[in-house]
Structure 1
Amino acid sequence: MNDLSIKSKIKTLIICSIIVFATKFLFQYFYPALSISELGPASALPPILGLMFGAWGAAGAAFGYLFADISAGRPPEIYIVNFFIQFLYAYIPYKLWYTLKIGENTTPRLDTVKHLLKFVIIMFITAVFLAAFLGFLMDGLGMYDLVSLTTLVFALNNFDFSIMFGSLIIIAANYYGLKMYKPKISKNPLIPPKIFNFIVILAIVIAIINIIITTVSDLGINIWTVLAATLSYSFAVIYILKPLTNEIIDKKFEIKISLTEKLIIIFITTGMIIALVTGLRSIFTINLLGMDNLHFWESVYLNITLILSIFYMSSIGFLWYVEKNITIPIESISNIARNYVSDSQGITDDNDIISKCEEYSTPDSEVGILALSFQKMIKDLKSYIENLEEVTAEKERINTELLVAQKIQADMLPRKFPAFPGRDEFDIYAKNIPAKEVGGDFYDFFLIDDTHLAIVIGDVSGKGVPAALFMVIAKTLIKNQAQLGKNPDDIFMTVNNQLYDGNDENMFVTAWMGILDIETGQFTYVNAGHNPPLLYKKNGYKWLKSRPGFVLAGMENINYIQNQITLKSGDRIFLYTDGVTEATNCDNKLFGDLRLLESLNDVKTHEIKEVLSHVKEKIDIFVDGRKQFDDITMLLMEYKK
């Protein structure tokens, strides 16, 4: 992370130093093969710490080796040179990881075979680099030749332990979310990167020539070898200054540990067991030959490395097969599914998605069957969406028509109040709240002539459009018959027969109608199976009960009996439908007649509009948010003359 503080970086350096020092100090007593260096797991730490934390991790590893060499009593010319060697040994992997174009350019993670192969190549290069540098140093001290089996053993030691322990450390670091340092990217470097590539190639060529000359001649250390080694490692130092131009992908991983990483852990663990068994077998076998300490460890490491090399190469091949035939197809199908749902990649063409799955579709494997199933799901879903779009469009069309019908129905009911501004002999107010867009409840009031006022309320069986249509017919027929000057009983008898004729759906209407003689207060009314109204006089509301007749449209030729009362000034008639008394709360209890009567008497002297609003408010409080299932209609008429 480039935005880390200096304090945090120094803390990283110190922690890396302590880890390397403790590991090297511990294992130097188990592998005392040479007087200035030890074989063992500690050699795996520098390249891994450098790979994860860059120059700060590399410096920490170098200081850890420096303190360990000083504590072991190494001479200054050894631990000072070794300090710079270890820094390069740790820092080169960091540079190579973001330089080699193998796999995606992300922070170190072994989630793919390409990243694993990249890691193996980097560990091999750094192992050879350190072994060659130590070989040159040992050759100069006269301890062993640069080109020797001992140099090879050191290279194998570094490589084996870097693979075994290094891969586990990187996997663990990613699993626990350890932040790794990323280098700065130079978009316009002063020195072209190709020059650094040429320098490193030149360093490799010089090193190879030096090895060949050293191998074929017996001159030992001379001016040429010193110059060649100096140039090679000077060029290596220059190479680590190479600017990085490749963009680093800030990839977000959805899972902590991938299938490839799990398999790597299994193979590494198996490899450790194989190495341990092979090493123990080699120790007991080779020990019988009576070799010296150096040659003894050379033979042990050669046996271990030979077995591990075969095992790890086979493992990489197996991982490649698994990734190609299982991991990549599953991840690709998963990405296709995620992008299809979220459309984050702009994939809106179903045929495009189906073609993407075609690459993995085959009946010969479980993953192929999964891809085929996903293809079928997309096709079925496409068909379902097309049908849903048609249904949705049709539903929207119906909803639009219902809204128009609702407005038409509402316009058919008188809604302008005061209804008769020029008449002060009476006052009237009404309210209708349908349960659906349109309903079967209705009310009406109209002047038959200058001295007679008709009020009507009705409730059609059923709800929705059929009830609304039947309501329109019933309301129209009642008004037409009333305007002919008929009595209420004759009006209902005629309308009943008209509605019954052709009523194949067996619908019916409960209705109540009254005609007021405005001059005398005489009020004549008839009931066709409807709820009895409430009559208000000075002492409060009470039920205006009468023998109800049969519902309209239920049976033809029904005789209806009308009743008559005389209203005085201040008397009121309250009409309502069963949606009022049958309003239901969450406990399935009805609002009921008693609550209606109490609600009316609470505001018996209030203005008629306020009375209806109060009753509706009481109903809303009672149902407590439960959805309305029946139309609610109320009408209140007050006689004032």
Structure 2
Amino acid sequence: MVVLVALTAAMYAAVLIPFKLLPIIPGITEVRPANVFPVICSLMFGPAGAWGAAFGNLIGDLMGGTYGLGSYVGMLGNFWFGYIPYRMWRLLSKNEPVPWGFSKLLRYLPITLLASLACGVQIGWGLDTLGLVPFHVLAPLITVNNFITAAILGPLLLPVLYPRVKRWGLLYHDIMEPEDLSTGTIPHVGHLLLWVALLGSLYFGISMSLGVTDAASINLGFGLEITIPIELLVSMGDNVAVGILPFLVLLLVSCLMI
């Protein structure tokens, strides 16, 4: 598994570094076609893909000239980006992700969105806390940037790479012991809580980052609407650093449950 961590980190960093020359927010984030690697490596290498994504992002920052305190926040965000796909795929499907089919694509896209959200809100929270970039700018940007890349390139690369990795006997479920592959006791509850944690983080994080502190209305569709006083949900404070911390704790708990 250590070799797979190194392989994932090397591939991720190798594609990240050249694109540091195409920044979206200078010194913070850039055009990142490499964002496909945490997702597909997660599906192939399991936890090694998660750790490889974390270290690969750090190496990319070190070698690309964007290293700073935010790099360690980026490590955590990219760990979630590589952790959630394989855990969710095991929960939602008993089949391997390839060969591709329409039903598998319908699983892949929401899983990719979930992982992208986790990465976006984690990094957005961390860099907002450090006073580098506002949450309402960075979290949606990272989420969209990650999702679009992985949603487009993943279905193209995974069918090419997955059969070869399987033939070499390097898939994570061929290497890991069965007891290490067990799921949580109530994984479907964890799945639901994960959506709550991430959508809650994004919604209330953006609201607080923009200075919205009055009652907020949420449109449920079909003419239904609920109004939630934000101050009830963020009673510990009205800033992003403290306000969405309960949601990030829920993110951690739900990931342990799936």
Aligned to 1:152: 140
**CA deviations over 1:365-392 (Å, ceiling 9, x no partner):** xxxxxxxxxxxxxxxxxxxxxxxxxxxx
Task: Give, as a single letter, the amino acid of the residue that structure 1 aligns with 2:82.
Answer: A
How far is 1:73 from its partner?
Answer: 4.1
Alpha-carbon separation, structure 2, partners of 1:156 and 1:195: 26
Aligned to 1:403: none
**CA deviations over 1:372-417 (Å, ceiling 9, x no partner):** xxxxxxxxxxxxxxxxxxxxxxxxxxxxxxxxxxxxxxxxxxxxxx
Contact 2:39 2:81 in 1 (8 A): yes
Aligned to 1:117: 106
How far is 1:86 from its partner?
Answer: 0.8
Task: Give, as a single letter, the amino acid of the residue that structure 1 aligns with 2:4.
Answer: T
How far is 1:45 from its partner?
Answer: 1.4
- Which residue, 14, 30, 45 being the options, matches 2:37? 45
Alpha-carbon separation, structure 1, partners of 2:103 and 2:195: 23
Aligned to 2:119: 130
Q: When you count helix as a share of all residues, which structure comes out higher? A: 2
3-state SS of paired residue (2:88): helix
- Which residue, 233, 237, 241 being the options, matches 2:252? 237
Aligned to 2:27: 35
Aligned to 1:12: 4
**CA deviations over 1:6-60 (Å, ceiling 9, x no partner):** xxx1111111111111111122123363212222202221122122211111111
How far is 1:123 from its partner?
Answer: 1.3
Aligned to 1:68: 60
Alpha-carbon separation, structure 2, partners of 1:189 and 1:97: 11
1:172 maps onto 2:166 in alignment: no
| TM-score, normalisation: structure 1 | 0.33
Contact 2:12 2:57 in 1 (8 A): yes
Q: Percent identity?
A: 21
Q: CA separation of 1:226/1:190 partners in 2, compared to 1, >3 Å: closer, same or farther?
A: same
- Which structure has the greater CA radius of gyration? 1
Task: Give, as a single letter, the amino acid of the residue that structure 2 aligns with 1:129.
Answer: A
Contact 2:8 2:56 in 1 (8 A): yes
Q: CA separation of 1:108/1:88 partners in 2, compared to 1, >3 Å: closer, same or farther?
A: same
How far is 1:202 from its partner?
Answer: 4.7
How far is 1:188 from its partner?
Answer: 9.3
Aligned to 1:108: 97
Contact 1:110 1:167 in 2 (8 A): no
Q: CA separation of 1:135/1:168 partners in 2, compared to 1, >3 Å: closer, same or farther?
A: same
Give unpaired runs (5+ residues) of structure 1: 1-8, 244-641
- 1:405-444 pair list within 5 angstroms: none
How far is 1:187 from its partner?
Answer: 11
Contact 2:42 2:50 in 1 (8 A): yes
Aligned to 2:83: 91
Contact 1:23 1:42 in 2 (8 A): yes
Q: CA separation of 1:110/1:234 partners in 2, compared to 1, >3 Å: closer, same or farther?
A: farther
Task: Give, as a single letter, the amino acid of the residue that structure 1 aligns with 2:251.
Answer: A
Contact 2:58 2:75 in 1 (8 A): yes
Alpha-carbon separation, structure 1, partners of 2:197 and 2:87: 16
How far is 1:75 from its partner?
Answer: 4.9
Task: Give, as a single letter, the amino acid of the residue that structure 2 aligns with 1:88.
Answer: W
Aligned to 1:59: 51
Alpha-carbon separation, structure 2, partners of 1:188 and 1:181: 13
Aligned to 1:505: none
Aligned to 1:203: 197
Alpha-carbon separation, structure 1, partners of 2:60 and 2:40: 18
Root mean square deviation of aligned Cα: 3.2
1:226 maps onto 2:241 in alignment: yes
3-state SS of paired residue (1:111): coil
Q: CA separation of 1:36/1:190 partners in 2, compared to 1, >3 Å: closer, same or farther?
A: closer
How far is 1:195 from its partner?
Answer: 5.1
Alpha-carbon separation, structure 2, partners of 1:108 and 1:153: 27
Alpha-carbon separation, structure 2, partners of 1:132 and 1:189: 24
Aligned to 1:192: 186
Contact 1:13 1:57 in 2 (8 A): yes
3-state SS of paired residue (1:176): helix
How far is 1:141 from its partner?
Answer: 4.3
Contact 1:47 1:93 in 2 (8 A): yes
- What is the number of equivalent residue pairs in this alignment? 230
Aligned to 1:181: 172
Task: Give, as a single letter, the amino acid of the residue that structure 2 aligns with 1:154.
Answer: I
Alpha-carbon separation, structure 2, partners of 1:154 and 1:189: 28
3-state SS of paired residue (1:109): coil
Give unpaired runs (5+ residues) of structure 2: 215-235
Q: CA separation of 1:121/1:110 partners in 2, compared to 1, >3 Å: closer, same or farther?
A: farther
Alpha-carbon separation, structure 2, partners of 1:162 and 1:53: 16
Q: CA separation of 1:110/1:162 partners in 2, compared to 1, >3 Å: closer, same or farther?
A: farther
Contact 1:193 1:242 in 2 (8 A): yes
How far is 1:234 from its partner?
Answer: 2.6
Alpha-carbon separation, structure 2, partners of 1:198 and 1:162: 22
How far is 1:239 from its partner?
Answer: 2.4
Task: Give, as a single letter, the amino acid of the residue that structure 2 aligns with 1:181.
Answer: Y
Q: CA separation of 1:218/1:145 partners in 2, compared to 1, >3 Å: closer, same or farther?
A: farther
How far is 1:79 from its partner?
Answer: 1.5
Q: CA separation of 1:45/1:107 partners in 2, compared to 1, >3 Å: closer, same or farther?
A: same
Task: Give, as a single letter, the amino acid of the residue that structure 1 aligns with 2:36.
Answer: A
- Which residue, 150, 162, 169 being the options, matches 2:150? 162
Alpha-carbon separation, structure 2, partners of 1:117 and 1:188: 24
Q: CA separation of 1:51/1:188 partners in 2, compared to 1, >3 Å: closer, same or farther?
A: closer
Task: Give, as a single letter, the amino acid of the residue that structure 2 aligns with 1:173.
Answer: L
3-state SS of paired residue (1:105): coil
How far is 1:105 from its partner?
Answer: 1.5
Aligned to 2:207: 212
Task: Give, as a single letter, the amino acid of the residue that structure 2 aligns with 1:217.
Answer: V
**CA deviations over 1:472-520 (Å, ceiling 9, x no partner):** xxxxxxxxxxxxxxxxxxxxxxxxxxxxxxxxxxxxxxxxxxxxxxxxx
